[in-house]
Structure 1
Amino acid sequence: MTTEEPSPATATAGPAGPAPGRPALGRLRDAARYALPALAAYLVIRLVVLLTVALWARSVGAPLGKELTRFDGNWYLGIARHGYDGYEKTQSNMAFFPLYPGLTGGLDRLSPLGPREAALLVAWLAALAAAWGLFAIGAHLHDRRTGVLLAALWAAVPHGIVESMGYSETLFTALAAWTLYALLRRHWVTAGVLCLFAGLTRPTASSLIPVVGLAALLAIVRRRDGWRPWAALLLAPAGWLAYLAWVGVRTGRPDGWFHIQSAGWGTTFDFGAYTVRKGQQVLSQASALPMIVVTVVALLAIMFFVLSLLDRQPWQLLLYSGLLLVTTLGAAGYYHSKARFLLPAFPLLLPAAVGLARAGWSRAVTVLVTVTAFSAYFGGYLLLLWKSSP
């Protein structure tokens, strides 16, 4: 499946990373060198988008830092500064999971950065870690070129501006990507620990935990890898369940977090009836650009999931992206944010990355330049013209 010669650093270990026999620091250095084209491509695309938005913001007198941390970003900043509020509020901030604001608050206290700058730095570093994880999966399953293009495509998606904002999507995507990579490599304890942290980051860890659990159960039934699958099975849901239990104690009801979501934030699960209804409204009348883009992204996500099935992706990736589609499109409320909620569903981009890798660099660059241009414009539109959250 590989279309190019492996680098010297990876020649003895396949396309995904350095040879295991070297010291840890040397392996990390070799892995970073191998991933460098993907990280560079990701950074270039994100910088182009961010520079475009910055120039646009300057022309209209909007402070870029404030725009990059608005809406959900303000909720995270409030948690980082003051902690969680009381349950009696109409919209309790306990709806937001703790890892991202916790890291923001810790960096704020331990560095000269302010809370806003700390939030952005955590999100940007997590975005780089996510791009690296996407590259690792693409290179492991196919080749280095596919890994580079997978990271680049994720950088250039229409709602890619969120990857530069003070939101938790980049942190969750990084943890999910490296969890799935660890699963593919049968590194059970690593997968369990990373999934634990993913469960402290976003509620969508409910799409990742079953993947780790099922993979661990299959290994246990087949009596493979000793105690390690058991460790993954126990660790994977621990963070998610712990936070839900904590909210339950704070609210005095076992379903406390779900009650906050439905009563305070208007989010329930209706098996997609709301999404279909809103999609029909968007397509049958004059609608705002973000609503049209969300509808197109939802349709493309379903198409790419079918292509992923036809391409026979590893079942771990299929189950993860399938569950993310179900939980995102099956939920009622916040139609304008559904494309953002699908940002962590990066395996859906793998068929496109494979196709571009086979098409050659000239065609791939042509596609990337085009989608980056739209991502830059649309990112500015979301921040500076659209009045709701991305």
Structure 2
Amino acid sequence: MDSDVRVLGLEAGPAEASAVPRRRLTRSPWWTLDPLRTRFGLGAMEADALRVWLISRIGMVLITWAVIWTGWGATTKQPRGWASMWQRWDWLRFYDIAAHGYSLRARHGASIAFFPGYPGLLYAVHLVFRSWVYSGLLISLVAGAIAAIALARIIALEAAHLGEPEARSAVRDGVTLFVWAPAAVFLAAGYSEAPFLAFTLWAWLAARRERWMAAGLLLAGAATIRVNGLFVLAAVGVLFLQSRPRTPRAWLRGGWLLVPLLPVAGYMAYLHSLTGNWNAWERAERLGWNRHLSYPWHTFANTWHYAFGRYLTAHESWEYQLEIAVTLLGIGLVVWLGIKRRWAEFVYALLSVGTLATSHVYLSVPREMLTWWPLWAALAVWCVRRPWVRTVYLTVSAPVMFTVAYLFLTGRWAG
């Protein structure tokens, strides 16, 4: 019997209960997920998040299909291959590292700017599936699902005060906004965003429950993929201090939070042995992408010139316009978290946004936006309280997301 009918039947008398119209017993179209839910202990909210994620993958398939047939000019009569659509930009770096190891010949050794965690994972999956590009797509599919489930739990914690129905609605809305983010194509591509989020979001959940060993180990996994794992570590460190450890045993439990430093230190030591320089990673960032410390007003001015100075092609200028918009959004997020005194999330957002806002130019900020889980949690709660937020967000973000995906899939720079 339908759950709503069952509840009404318990509250009403026999006559009233019999008068309640019974719905036809039908099997949910998602019944195939039931064994998965049982096996991994997923609740209704996590299942909702998984459904949203899987449906969004259908949308990405349709976008890719459209680009295969329409993205190559008016005279082209044959579609491009599916796999070739996803062999773009950083993916080529990851593939080259996984297949051949690090090289100092690529653009002044810029490949060493990529941490070894994702190439190592790609190499391991390729041993089974024997296709580099589809191994990358599979990693993003699975890791993205894991991250979506973790994001659902984070949103549920933030929306718990609203009540169960509203919290469940917040989860659906928050994950939906996440999968329709402007740079959502990078959650599908063979990039590091999805596996980084899978480690990061579960580490945050573990820290919220004061499970410091799990948080430290998960953050170590994140730190092998991106240096931003240290930003999350700083935020988790604030959570640890907010737990007010008083005894030596409590402080020792927090020692697990030192573990994420090991892979970063190990990689820096490896680069030193390879290049003879302790700052080899920073040098690769500077030579490969011109990333170096700059005053924030200089960074804004440089980006503004790229966006509106007509020095670049039109689509590249549009990308810099998007970089400016998302950076301003990130600054707004930092200010809001500070006003709300959410110091752990504030520290993470400040480091994440601040490093990008004080580089030579805003670069890859929409991609970084994918990792701002405080933003998705806040938007999810706002969507419940003010449903128009969801409408406005999707109205703005959906066409931007399609445009970024179109640029990426056609081989043009997309951030």
TM-score (normalised: structure 2): 0.78
Which residue of structure 2 lines up, in the alignment, with residue 230 of structure 1? 254
CA separation in 2, counterparts of 1:178 and 1:358?
26
**Mapped contact 1:192–1:233 kept (Cα < 8 A):** yes
Separation (CA, whole Å) in 1 of partners of 2:98 and 2:239: 35
Q: Residue 126 of structure 1: which of 127, 143, 147 is its match? A: 143
- The separation in 2 between residues aligned to 1:387 and 1:317, in whole angstroms, is 34
In the other structure, the counterpart of 1:203 is 227
**Contact kept? 1:138, 1:150, Cα under 8 Å:** yes
Shift of 1:338: 2.4
In 1, Cα distance between equivalents of 2:215 and 2:306:
40
d(CA) in 2 for partners of 1:367, 1:46: 22
Give the whole-Å Cα distance in 1 for the aligned partners of 2:249 and 2:47.
32
Give the equivalent residue in structure 2 for 1:115.
132
Structure 2: runs of 5+ lacking an equivalent: 5-35, 73-78, 160-166
Report which stretch shifted further, 246-255 or 186-195.
246-255
Q: CA deviation at 1:88?
A: 8.7
Give 1:227 shift: 5.8
Q: CA deviation at 1:376?
A: 4.6
In the aligned structure 2, how far is the partner of 1:113 from the partner of 1:372? 36
Give the structure 2 partner of residue 13 of structure 1.
none
Find the aligned partners of 2:320 and 2:220 in 1 and give their Cα distance. 34
Rg larger for: 2
The 5 A counterparts of 1:244-283 are 244-281=268-305
**Distance of 2:135 and 2:258 partners within structure 1:** 32
Q: Separation in 2 of the partners of 1:376 and 1:267?
A: 25
Specify every segment of 5 or more residues in structure 1 that has no aligned partner in the other structure, as ranges.
Answer: 6-24
Report % sequence identity: 25
359, 383, 392: which is aligned to 1:356?
A: 383
The offset of 1:81, in angstroms, is 0.8
Q: Deviations over 1:86-127 (max 9, x none)?
A: 479613421111111111111111x13401111111122111
Task: Choose 210-219 or 252-261, whichever is displaced more.
Answer: 210-219
Aligned to 1:381: 406
Partners in 2 of 1:28 and 1:271 — Cα distance? 51
- Specify whether residues 72 and 179 from structure 1 end up closer, same or farther in structure 2 by C-alpha distance, changes over 3 A only: same
Contact residue 181 and residue 401 of structure 2 kept, 8 A: no
Is the 8 Å Cα contact of residues 268 and 331 (structure 1) preserved in structure 2? yes
Letter in 1 for 2:200: A
Q: Which residue of 2 aligns with 1:162?
A: 186
Change (3 A) 1:50 1:300: farther
TM-score normalised by L of structure 1: 0.83
Match of 1:22 in 2: none
Against the structure 1 CA distance between its residues 74 and 355, is the aligned structure 2 distance closer, same or farther, given a 3 Å change threshold? same
Distance 1:368 1:46 in 2: 19
Asked if 1:298 corresponds to 2:327, the answer is yes
CA shift, 1:43, in A, is: 2.5
Q: How does 1:1-390 map to 2 (within 5 A)?
A: 29-31=40-42, 33-59=44-70, 60=72, 61-86=79-104, 90-109=108-127, 111-142=128-159, 143-217=167-241, 219=243, 221-223=245-247, 226=250, 229-281=253-305, 284-285=308-309, 288-312=317-341, 314-333=342-361, 335-360=362-387, 363=388, 366-367=391-392, 370-371=395-396, 373-384=398-409, 387-390=412-415
Paired with 2:287 and 2:107, the residues of 1 have a C-alpha distance of 11
Cα 1:51–1:185, aligned 2, differ >3 Å: closer, same or farther?
Answer: same
CA–CA separation in structure 1 for the residues paired with 2:322 and 2:272: 37
When structure 1 is superposed on structure 2, of 324-333 and 196-205 the one drifting more is 324-333
Q: How many residues align?
A: 362
Shift in alpha-carbon separation, 1:276–1:232, aligned structure 2, 3 A: same
CA deviations on 1:115-152 (whole Å, 9 max, x unpaired) are: 11111111221111111111111101213332332222
SS of match in other structure, 2:129: coil
Measure the CA separation in 2 of the matches of 1:47 and 1:343: 19
| Superposed CA RMSD | 2.8
Cα deviation, 1:9-44, whole Å, max 9, x if unaligned, reads: xxxxxxxxxxxxxxxx99863325440111212322
